[in-house]
Amino acid sequence: MSSHRPAHARTAPDGGTGSRRLLRTAALPAALGLAVMLLAYWAIAPQEPTRRDTQLTSSVTECREMVTISIAGRGDAPTDHTKMLVDAAGNPLPATLSDDYSSEWLDPVVNAPRDAGADAAAVYIAYPANMNSYDTAVQQGVENASAVIRSISQACPGTRFAITGYSEGADVARRVAMDIGNAQPAADGRYAIVDPASVVGVVILSDTGRAVGDGPFPGAENPFGNPDGFDREYQRHTNPAGGQGAMPDSAGGFGALDGRVASFCSDGDLFCAAPQNISLLQLAVNVGRQLDVDGLEQQGLTEATGGGVALVVGRIALDALARIGSDPNWMASDETFLDVLLEVSTPGYDGSAVTPVARDTIEAGEMAGLSNLPRKLMNEIVNLVVTNQNTIPVVMSDPYQLTLGWKDGHHFDYWRDANDDRPLSSADYAAQWLTYLAQQPPAERATLVAATSAADATSTTTAPTTTTTTTTTTTTTVPPSSTPLPGDVVPPTETVPPVDGVPTEIILPTITDVPTSPTTPVPPSGTPSPTTPPTTTTTTPVPSR
């Protein structure tokens, strides 16, 4: 997915009957071949993660009444040249203040409360934000965002949170919100991330987990009009966007956060409004989420990238065979081979839970299963046709241009979709809602620590020896000021135990040159690049607006 550069050994077991062997032999190459050919539609611009030892200069500032956790899209995340945050104990956090990082897409939304004078701040989450592989990057984003929320809530127990994500970051935002909203407290009353009551709003721009028929405000009293507690009407109709999210495995309810979620989707944005009955394309998406799409995009199908494709496709094939082999009555069932492929190709599928039924011979009674072969083959054909009624129309519509075309791609509608039925664009509506939430009665204050990475710290792609970050922590409240606090890079002097759940080393993306290509839309000139290193290393406190 995208933002600035738009862009988620086993051997085959004996199946148990000769008829199953025949079906597998006939169906496997055709189905997997179609899936591989369709992977071309799952490509969008790269960035590689790196590990680095971080030297920190810390300054202590006031907590904010509301902090917006912001997760941008592909290629649009803080890098190792960006000033990063540390927690109250001096441990590095994978996040940076929006004063120190700019996203063309999310800035107007997440900075609106601060710009309106509310006691609010926004932080951008650092995560790989790439397609190598998509699901690994998204999961890292979920872990990083959860760690940042947890750390801030421990230091600032009265702070309220909003969560905002776009494109690849929208998937991260959805998963974090679902984790928080569906969590149950431990015996001591604590939550794994944060009390759901502390999360006042969630904004998801291009929701890949959206279900068929969902309105913009799932779980709200008026799911097509407004989130609970905010009286401004978003739109005057009750027509949902078509289709569903391209990643139905990430779908689900928001639990305690129902009514506090804005899930925006534009018709034609295939990430959130993919038509139903495109099972072959869905299979291709499932496979693509596990491939190094960045490498394929840059290098083509080489020995290295081809090996990765073969590994993923081979694993899916073996999982499908094992899944069928575990059910002695599979030939008599209505489940098709395509159904099995869709199940086992889903990222996170646990093939170890399947126990194949190994047979050296076919018992006489089981030969009756061969009588099901004609019916099974007919079911395969019918299912392939019925579940792909929209596959050819989608392919013929040029899905890449439809969704990601720079001038008119529907993935960018959220900043320009105001019309007679919708007075504000989705992004403007989200900005006004977050501003309203931030202006609600103040919460308890505590201390938040900001820090910057040293400009001369050495970046490396090899994993460094894990060390405990040490620093001298002083709890001091600094009054709001427009003058930056002076600060020099100071080596650690005292061991401080880490905050639970916050890593002492962080994974940040390195800066790489991304070639401009027809598959990489170029933002308008004059837009500040988020990957441009700062010219100074002076720490800036969170300003009070």
Question: 260 and 111 share a domain?
Answer: yes
| More reliable by pLDDT, 498 or 293 | 293
Q: What is the pLDDT of residue 62?
A: 56
Residue 543 lies in a domain: no
Q: Give domain status of residue 527, yes or no.
A: no
Asked whether residue 251 falls in the same domain as residue 284, the answer is: no
Asked if residue 249 is part of any domain, the answer here is yes
Which of 371, 402, 433 is at the close of a domain?
A: 402
Return the closest-CA partner of residue 145 out of 121, 177, 187.
177
Residue 85 within any structural domain of the chain: yes
In a domain, 433, yes or no: yes
Distances in whole angstroms, Cα of residue 368 to Cα of each of 200, 218, 487, 518? 60, 49, 81, 56
- The answer to the question of residue 530 being in a domain is no
> How many angstroms separate the CA atoms of 493 and 56, rounded?
12
Q: Is residue 138 a part of any domain in this protein?
A: yes
C-alpha span between 192 and 501 (Å, rounded): 9
More confident residue, 117 or 363: 117
Instruction: Tell me the average pLDDT across 49-54.
Output: 36
414 within a domain of the structure (yes/no): no
Residue 378 phi/psi, 5-degree rounding, is: -65, -40
498 has pLDDT over 60: no
The pTM of the full predicted model, rounded to 2 decimals, is 0.65
- The closest alpha carbon to 254, from 201, 191, 193, 213, belongs to 201
Q: Please check whether residues 30 and 87 belong to one and the same domain.
A: no
pLDDT at residue 433, rounded to an integer:
98
Highest mean pLDDT among 54-58, 207-211, 444-448: 207-211
Is residue 338 domain-shared with residue 240, that is, in the same domain? no
Which tokens go with 138? 């998204």
According to the per-residue pLDDT averaged within each range, which of 12-16, 212-216, 247-251, 479-483 is highest?
A: 212-216
Closest CA to 79 of 544, 474, 533: 533
Asked if residue 438 and residue 458 are part of one domain, the reply reads yes
Q: Is residue 438 within 8 Å of 65, Cβ to Cβ?
A: yes
| Domain tally, the chain | 2
For residue 434, what is the domain's CATH number? 3.40.50.1820
Q: Which domain holds residue 356?
A: 18-45+278-402
Beta-bridge partners for 542? none
257-303 residue pLDDT tens = 999 999 999 999 999 998 877 778 778 888 887 887 777 777 777 87
Encoding tokens for residue 387?
A: 């579940």
Q: Are 295 and 304 in contact (CB under 8 A)?
A: yes
pLDDT over 70, % of the chain: 66
Residue 183 — φ and ψ, nearest 5°?
-75, 150
Residues 9, 15, 21: CA angle, nearest 5 degrees: 105
Number of alpha carbons in the 13 Å side-chain half-sphere of residue 292: 18
In this prediction, residue 371 has a pLDDT band, given cuts at 50, 70 and 90, of low
Instruction: Tell me how long the chain is.
Output: 545
264 and 282 housed in the same domain: no
Residues 268 and 235 in one domain: yes
The residues near 251 (Cβ < 8 Å, ≥ 6 apart) are 209, 210, 211, 244, 245
Is the predicted pLDDT of residue 455 greater than 60, yes or no?
Answer: no
Q: What are phi and psi of 160, to 5 degrees?
A: -100, 155
Average of per-residue pLDDT values in the chain = 73
Q: What is the pLDDT of residues 121-176, one digit of tens each?
A: 999 999 998 877 788 999 999 999 999 999 999 989 999 999 999 999 999 999 99
Q: Do residue 296 and residue 342 come from a single domain?
A: yes
DSSP for 476-507, please give it: -PPPP-SSPPP-------SB-PPPTT--SS-E
> Are 394 and 430 in a shared domain?
no
- Is 311 in the same domain as 334? yes
Least confident of 56-65, 161-170, 179-188: 56-65
Q: Do 427 and 387 share a structural domain?
A: no
H-helix or E-strand containing 169?
helix 168-181
Is residue 92 located within the same domain as residue 129? yes
- pLDDT number for residue 508: 45
Place of tokens 């940040």: 508
Instruction: List the single range of 172-181, 384-393, 472-481 with lowest mean pLDDT.
Output: 472-481
473 pLDDT band, cuts 50/70/90, is very low
The token pair that represents 266 in the structure block: 């534009």
